């Protein structure tokens, strides 16, 4: 039989998926099969699993919730589905859309089970897969099936005006199984590209290290150290598509872990992060972890001006300060194994800046033993003595064994 839409009985309509459809809810997709268009988005919430929707009946939402629930590894989720256009097979496509969105969650929260849904129908006495809207209206019975690629049936929903006999039932099941396999293949091809993009070409033989920093001053210093070991440095400036990591921690270590763990998870690579800051004794240790945002965000001149202002009238002997760096090296998806090292350097905050090298507070940070500020040193000289250099020294002794472990 040739269908009115020129498809064979076992032909499903093409699928198009736009992954990460919503910018503010990255676990979202626009799922289109033929003229059926569904927007699905998943958000982490606490409490019980919720499914809400618009342009969808309560019965559809209840079915979707009951069908998805056994596939979830966590109930702390809310799924929102919106039917933009119903071109047939709505129930199955609601499932497919929601299932795709769930797969955009972090890996450990994705469904453990591979599953897809498809509709089959009896139309003019013949069984067809994935009926469009016209066929759905003509169908005497409709079946929606959710199944795994191994033909384990997870849900089955029958509707329509006419009862079906057991041979029709078997035909519908057979068509549905094939449809599920096809749907899975249709989804998987795009999914792998969207969710598991090809890894950046980086040597895994420890000749390249990714550093989760956007600070070019830090990058320069890391580069100088690692270049002598024949190791190339990449920074977040090489990966402009990565999201910003908010430094919400209460300590240098917490912030360095946030940067390293999250970027390692995104890149699927080992990642090194640096969180550092200036602790001024006369200011009770401030600006500390807030060194980058002491006066506006990353305004070195503003930060230095504020530091000088706050130290107005404080005599030289009381202007002692410590520069601190915590480095965290993280392996993807193994945050418990993070390698943590740190380094400090003592100095004094001058009243007038000196030197043009370095970055940040370097022109005000005076090292008595060298009779120079950090900004009066070359990168190589700063790398002999600085807080960062001391932390890197610790790292050098440990990282090769750690990365192999
Ligand atoms: O004179 C300096 N010599 C240094 O050697 C140094 N290291 C850090 N800092 C300052 O402390 C903030 C840390 O903040 P921070 O660790 O969050 O870094 P950041 O935000 O600049 O870059 P990122 O690595 O987070 O992308 C930075 O912005 C700098 O102002 C330094 N100042
Ligand atoms: Mg920062």
Q: Look at residue 201 in the predicted model and tell me its pLDDT.
A: 41
Structural domain includes residue 201: no
Same domain? 289 vs 383: yes
d(CA 127, CA 147): 18
Same domain? 212 vs 159: no
Told to judge if 281 belongs to the known catalytic residues of this protein, a careful annotator would answer: no
CATH assignment at residue 223: 3.90.950.10
- For the chain, how many structural domains are there in total? 2
Write down the catalytic residue from 238, 275, 356, 371.
275
Q: Average pLDDT in the 56-61 region?
A: 96
Cβ burial of 282 (10 Å; 0-12, 13-18, 19+) is: middle
- Centre of ligand 1 from the C-alpha of residue 238, in Å: 19
Other Cβ atoms less than 10 A from the Cβ of 126: the count is 12
Same domain? 236 vs 99: no
Same domain? 37 vs 100: yes
Q: What is the pLDDT of residues 262-301, one digit of tens each?
A: 998 888 888 999 999 999 999 999 999 999 999 988 899 9
- Yes or no: say if 69 and 85 are a contact pair by the CB < 8 Å rule: no
CATH assignment at residue 178: 3.30.230.70
Give the ligand 1 atom nearest the CA of 300.
30
List, chain by chain if needed, residues with CB within 6 Å of any ligand 1 atom. 213-215, 218, 247, 274-277, 291-292, 298, 303, 358-362, 365, 374, 386, 388
Residue 168, pLDDT above cutoff 80:
yes
Percent of the chain's residues with pLDDT above 70 = 96
Select the more confidently predicted residue: 361 or 229: 361
Same domain? 249 vs 182: no
pLDDT band at 333 (very low <50, low <70, confident <90, very high): confident
Same domain? 182 vs 39: yes
Q: Whose CA is nearest to atom 22 of ligand 1?
A: 215
Q: What is the pLDDT of residues 178-229, one digit of tens each?
A: 999 999 888 887 786 676 544 444 444 568 889 999 999 999 999 988 888 8
Structural domain includes residue 6: no
Same domain? 24 vs 55: yes
pLDDT band at 341 (very low <50, low <70, confident <90, very high): very high
Residue 133, pLDDT above cutoff 60:
yes
Q: Look at residue 198 in the predicted model and tell me its pLDDT.
A: 43
Beta sheet of 15-19, edge-to-edge order? 15-19, 28-33, 36-44, 77-85, 50-54
Q: Look at residue 248 in the predicted model and tell me its pLDDT.
A: 94
Give Rg (Cα) of the chain.
Answer: 29
Same domain? 191 vs 228: no
Could you give the 3-state DSSP secondary structure of residue 175? helix
Give the ligand 1 atom nearest the CA of 247.
17
* Mutation to probe ligand 1, out of 360, 363, 366, 391 (largest number of atoms < 8 A from CB): 360
Same domain? 138 vs 36: yes
Percent of the chain's residues with pLDDT above 90 = 75
Structural domain includes residue 253: yes
Averaged confidence pLDDT in the chain: 92
Same domain? 174 vs 103: yes
Q: In 3D, which of 26, 181, 30, 202 has the Cα closest to residue 114?
A: 181
| Domain coverage including residue 44 | 15-195
Assembly ipTM = 0.98
d(CA 111, CA 21): 20
Q: Whose CA is nearest to atom 31 of ligand 1?
A: 360
């Amino acid at each position: 039989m040739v269908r009115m839409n020129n498809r064979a009985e076992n032909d499903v309509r093409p699928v198009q998926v736009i992954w990460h459809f919503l910018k503010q809810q990255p676990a979202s997709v626009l799922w289109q099969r033929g003229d059926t268009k569904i927007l699905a988005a998943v958000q982490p919430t606490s409490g019980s699993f919720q499914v809400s929707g618009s342009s969808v009946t309560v019965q559809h939402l209840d079915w979707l919730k009951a069908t998805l629930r056994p596939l979830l590894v966590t109930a702390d989720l809310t799924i929102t589905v919106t039917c933009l256009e119903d071109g047939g097979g709505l129930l199955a496509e609601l499932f497919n859309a929601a299932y795709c969105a769930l797969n955009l969650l972090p890996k450990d929260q994705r469904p453990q089970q591979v599953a897809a849904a498809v509709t089959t129908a009896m139309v003019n006495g013949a069984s067809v897969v994935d009926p469009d809207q016209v066929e759905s209206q003509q169908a005497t019975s409709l079946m929606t099936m959710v199944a795994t690629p191994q033909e384990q049936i997870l849900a089955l929903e029958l509707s329509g005006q006419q009862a079906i006999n057991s041979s029709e039932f078997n035909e519908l099941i057979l068509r549905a199984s094939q449809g599920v396999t096809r749907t899975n293949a249709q989804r998987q091809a795009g999914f792998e590209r969207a969710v598991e993009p090809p890894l950046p070409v980086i040597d895994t033989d420890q000749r390249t290290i990714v550093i989760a920093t956007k600070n070019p001053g830090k990058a320069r210093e890391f580069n100088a150290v690692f270049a002598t070991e024949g190791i190339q440095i990449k920074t977040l400036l090489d990966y402009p598509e990565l999201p910003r990591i908010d430094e919400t921690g209460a300590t240098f270590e917490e912030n360095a872990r946030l940067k390293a763990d999250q970027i390692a998870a995104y890149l699927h690579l080992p990642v090194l992060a640096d969180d550092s800051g200036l602790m001024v004794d006369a200011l009770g240790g401030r600006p500390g972890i807030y060194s980058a945002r002491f006066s506006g965000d990353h305004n070195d001149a503003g930060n230095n001006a504020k530091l000088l202002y706050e130290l107005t009238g404080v005599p030289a002997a009381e202007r002692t300060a410590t520069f601190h760096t915590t480095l965290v090296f993280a392996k993807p998806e193994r945050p418990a194994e993070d390698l943590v090292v740190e380094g400090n350097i003592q100095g004094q905050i001058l009243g007038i800046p000196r030197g043009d090298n370095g970055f940040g507070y370097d022109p005000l940070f005076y090292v008595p033993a060298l009779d120079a500020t950090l900004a009066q040193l070359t990168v190589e000289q700063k790398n002999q003595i600085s807080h960062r250099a001391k932390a890197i020294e610790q790292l050098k002794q440990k990282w090769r064994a750690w990365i192999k472990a």
